[in-house]
Structure 1
Amino acid sequence: MAARATPDRYRNAAIAHVMVDGAAAAIQFYAQAFGAEELFRIARPDGRIMHAEIIIEGSVVMVGDAEGLFKAPGQLGGSTVGLHIFVENVDALGARAADAGAELLQPPTDMFYGARTVMLRDPFGHVWVLLHQQEDVPPAEIARRGAESLGSAAAG
């Protein structure tokens, strides 16, 4: 049986609210890089975005200008989270994002947990992990393979 593009356990995942300096520009970048479609936005009179929602291959991501309790990665010296999105074609979307200006952190790679992944940093400092599930791997087997991978990396 072929693996589903998105494993069932991730179908009801938490929704990320990406805080950036320059949300309007970020939304434009996400459209260019990931094919994001803007669902709506709520902007202040000065143009700063309080809340917007985009969709990338079926995954909703909220976007807003950083303020108050919410900081942009540049204000923190790095991102505190990685945004994981399951997509149909990791290689193509990763290349599209890199062409749009995302920094390639990890090229498309087949991973021990059954997914092909690419890792990128957007110009606003957020780290994106695009995945396509190629093999349905039970959690216990993921843990075994992960431990084996770490053991062989430590030995090498």
Structure 2
Amino acid sequence: MTNDNIPEPQVWPTLRAKDAPALIRFLVDVFGFEETAVYGTEGTVEHAQLSWPLGGGIMLGSDRESGPWKLTPGTFGAYVVCNDPDALYARARSAGAEIIDEMTDTDYGSRGFAVRDPEGNLWSFGTYRGEPRKS
């Protein structure tokens, strides 16, 4: 599904996973990311792109022993804007995700929660869309 109102992402947060195929399934099935591209063989993910329905997304791949792009699995953290945090919270809880910050309303106008994925990465979901850019 293409939406002309959603700008193409220009910044792609990235992470590595011990079990990238399982993490992809979790992020798609529980959080609602869209599996846009996955390249690899025999359980190893060389590159995956997961798009977020409201715009943007992440890239990830299987952990590598060495190389210039070595990242430690389980050390990633992200804030993701969502329109219905209550529904996503219920979905995450029913899937057995580890809730690390219960649903809350902030003094800056956001409603959201935080969770740890099976690899140990931290995800915060909320309605806060950031401050407007200065023109």
User: Please, which moves more after superposition, 11-20 or 106-115?
Assistant: 11-20
Gaps of 5+ in 1: 1-10, 74-78, 139-156
> 2:50: which partner in 1?
54
Distance 2:127 2:17 in 1: 26
Deviation at 1:12, TM superposition (A): 6.3
Give the SS at the match of 1:114. Answer: coil
- Whether contact under 8 Å (2:9, 2:56) holds in the other structure is no
- Which one of the candidate residues 108, 113, 118 is aligned to 1:118? 113
Select the structure that is richer in helix.
1
**One-letter code aligned to 1:120:** V
**One-letter code aligned to 1:56:** W
Give the SS at the match of 1:124. Answer: coil
> 2:61: which partner in 1?
64
Distance 1:70 1:86 in 2: 24
Give the SS at the match of 1:49. Answer: strand
Are 2:98 and 1:103 equivalent residues in the alignment? Answer: yes
Distance 1:88 1:105 in 2: 20
- Whether contact under 8 Å (2:9, 2:57) holds in the other structure is no
Instruction: State the Cα deviation string for residues 94-118 of structure 1 (Å, max 9, x = none).
Output: 2212222210111111112221120
> 1:31: which partner in 2?
28
Gaps of 5+ in 2: 1-7
Are 2:85 and 1:84 equivalent residues in the alignment? Answer: no
- TM-score, length basis structure 1: 0.68
Name the larger-Rg structure. 1
Once superposed, what is the RMSD of the aligned Cα atoms? 2.4
- TM-score, length basis structure 2: 0.78
Aligned pair count reads 121
